Amino acid sequence: MLYALGSTIEGDELLRRFNFTVLSSENERADKHNFYALPFTSSLLDEYLSLLQDWSGICDISWHLRS
Amino acid sequence: MNEITDNQDNLSKQIGRLVSQCLKANKYAAEDPEVSLMQARKAAEAICLQIFSQEIGSPGKLMLNDLIGQLGGKKVLPRRIMLPLSTIQSYGNYGSHHQDDCFEVDSEFVIPCLSALKQVLEWYFLKYLDTEIPNDIKGFIKSSRQSTYSEYRLDKNAGTNLKPVQEKDFSVSSPTSRHLPIDALTLNKNSLNLMCPCDLTLAYKANQMTSVFLGSEAIPFELYEQWRIKNPQILVCLIAPDNEVLGYFDVFPLKDIFLEDFIEGRLGEDELKPEYILSPDESIFSCQLYLGGIAVKSPNTFVGSRNAAILLWDFCII
């Protein structure tokens, strides 16, 4: 499970666009931010990757890619 | 996410067409100068349309003259760039329409127009897009006005057809290169670096970036450094060749004891202690990850948007 806190308006929008769902809302939290979760799987990441441009041609990555 | 990808694709195609127009403007300077003027005008129009769409909105059917005027009025175009744009427009109009003076446009006549185009292109790529000049037109832009003029004169005195001296540098772009993403055209291979683990300096720069967005809510660097000492792999930075931090994201493998209270809202991120973070060895089989943040410099610019797309892509492949 992947968790995230929506600390800014832009952050909230980004998380929703990635299909994160609210686990606990800002009204019930001490930090007054929405808390999100996304059940991420290998197939979900692959789906996201298919929508994103491959930047490996211009980026040097300092660690190994997942297999 | 789709929007980011679409924008990248659109800009990539626009840059591809622009490069092709510039190459044609240069190529036809000798063979067919009137075509050269028209291609230069098209290139100027393409640049103005892209900037107008990005900064103001749909340009509708505005003519080049109006595009320049409105972009200048909004201070998007500096005056020093409005001038060469207007030059290109004037020359382009001259080359496109019948002229009563029966003057035959020759290759020398187009030189001021091409020089103006070079100025505009240099500003557009280096200043406006904040990126490198596409390799295909680097030679064209970097050849100085004086040397271009001299080369044409030299050829003319020799009684030959006028041709650009370094024609090989300006060969027409292959169909493949027109479909390459913009960064394949504008950035060298591996010119950016996605770094993990990061050193103290990079972590500090990333933390400073957060402060810009979150102000007093940003995690103090002293606390962040304690987290990073517990697990140096939490932070990934996108680094420019000059070591500038362009963006970052951080991901924390958390222990259940903290996560339960964090999910319920009883604890906040600033109450995360290093002992609640799993070490790299402990986190190998962790299924509970907390995405602490993702941020880029200048998020509302093309480059910021590109850097955000790179970080999202990287997040998905790790």
ipTM rounded to 2 decimals: 0.92
pLDDT of residue B1: 52
- Torsion, Cα B81 B82 B88 B92, to 10 degrees, reads 160
- Interface-testing mutation among A46, A52, A54, A67, with chain B (most B C-beta atoms within 10 A): A52
CA-wise closest residue to B162 among B210, B111, B207, B202:
B111
Confidence class for position B26, pLDDT limits 50, 70, 90: confident
Q: Is the peptide bond before B197 cis (omega within 30 degrees of 0)?
A: yes
Q: Does A6 touch chain B (CB under 8 A)?
A: no
Side chain identity, residue B294: I
What does the alpha-carbon distance between residue B209 and residue B223 come to, in Å, rounded to a whole number?
16
pLDDT of residue A42: 81
pLDDT of residue B246: 94
Select the more confidently predicted residue: B218 or B246.
Answer: B246
Nearest beta carbon to residue A17 from set B1, B259, B262: B1
Residue contact A53–B8, C-beta within 8 A: yes
Quick one: CA dihedral B180, B181, B182, B187, positive or negative? Answer: negative
pLDDT of residue B143: 63
Q: Which residues of A touch B186 (CB under 8 A)?
A: none
Nearest beta carbon to residue B217 from set A7, A23, A53: A7
pLDDT of residue B114: 87
Per-residue pLDDT, averaged over B209-221, amounts to 84
pLDDT of residue B169: 28
Select the more confidently predicted residue: B141 or B6.
Answer: B141
Per-residue pLDDT, averaged over B144-154, amounts to 36
Q: A4-18, B127-141, B177-191, B210-224: which has the highest mean pLDDT? A: A4-18
Chain A: give the shortest CA distance to residue B80, in Å. 32
Low-confidence ranges of chain A (pLDDT < 50): 65-67
Q: What is the mean pLDDT of chain B?
A: 79
User: Is the pLDDT assigned to residue B178 strictly greater than 50?
Assistant: no
User: Is the pLDDT assigned to residue B3 strictly greater than 80?
Assistant: no
pLDDT of residue A63: 66
What does the alpha-carbon distance between residue B117 and residue B45 come to, in Å, rounded to a whole number?
11
User: Is the pLDDT assigned to residue B160 strictly greater than 50?
Assistant: no
pLDDT of residue B4: 57
Q: Which residues of B touch A50 (CB under 8 A)?
A: none
The Cα angle at residue B292 between residues B229 and B211, in degrees rounded to 5: 85
User: Is the pLDDT assigned to residue B259 strictly greater than 90?
Assistant: yes
No. of helices (H) and no. of strands (E), chain A: 2, 4
Confidence class for position B146, pLDDT limits 50, 70, 90: very low
pLDDT of residue B311: 93
Confidence class for position B46, pLDDT limits 50, 70, 90: very high
pLDDT of residue B47: 93
Nearest beta carbon to residue A45 from set B192, B266, B316: B316
